[in-house]
Structure 1
C-alpha cells in the first residue's frame, strides 16, 4: 500500500522538477526534517537574511517559512523580495539561482521547495582619484539621487511551495 503512494508522489514531483531551469547552485535535497523542528535553509549575506522553515503537521499550513534578518547591525547590499510580487523571469534579467528541497520526515510523499531567483545589478566601484583611493562624496551622491541616477540594487526573489501528496495525518 505504501509503494503505490510513493510512486504516485514521485510522478507528481517529476513535472515540477522538469519545469525549473537549471539553477546556478546545484545541491542535493536536504536531509528529511521532522515536524516542529526549525531548520535553516540558506543564508543570503548580501540581503542580511537567512531563510528558515519548519513542517507544522497542520494540513491547512503544512510548512511555515520565513526570511529572518541575520543581525541588526548588518547593512544589506541587496533587497530580498517575494517572488509572487516580483514575478522573476529569465527574459527580464532574473537568474534562477537556487532550488532547495526539504523532505518531510513524517510524510515521505511531501516536501517543501524553496526557489531563489537573483537579479544582478552591474555596479562598478567608484573610480580611483589621483591618490589611488576610491571615494564617495556626499554632495555628488545627493545630486545623483535627486536626479534619479542611483545605481541599481541587486535583488533576490524567494518563493516556497509544498509539493507532493498530503499524508493521512494531515
Structure 2
C-alpha cells in the first residue's frame, strides 16, 4: 500500500479540486483543514469540512469517473497523502482488507450525507450550530465565521445572533 501513496503539501487557499473536472486521485489529511463548496449565483455554499484523519474525495469522479460538482479549498497549509484512484481500485481487487475498508468508507459517507440532508430539512439553524459545537468544536476555532455560516445555511449576521444567544 505504501508504494502507492505519496506525501504532498499545499499552502492555504490552494484549490485542491475544481468543480467540473474529473479528479483521478483521493487524499487523506495528515495536517490541516479543508472545505468543500459549490458555487451558485456568484455565491459559494460550503457543505463539508475535512480535518486531520479524514479523506478528501470527489465521489462523482471516484464512483462514475465523471466531473465532480465540488471545489476543495485549503483553509490552512496542509500536508496530505495522495493516492491515485486507479491504484486504489487495483488494491481493492488484490486485498480483501482494503476492499472492506473501501466499503466501510462508502457506508460512512452515505450516513454522513443522510445526516446532513435530515439536519438541513428538520433542524433549525440554532440546532445545527449546537450540533457543530457538540460534534466538531475544533471547527469553530480554526474556520472563519463566514464559512461556518455558509455551512449552516445562514448569513453571517444570523450566526452572530445565534452565538450571542448562546453566550
> TM-score, normalization: structure 1?
0.21
Which structure's residues are more often strand, by fraction? 1
**Structure of greater Rg:** 1
Which structure's residues are more often helix, by fraction? 2
> TM-score, normalization: structure 2?
0.22
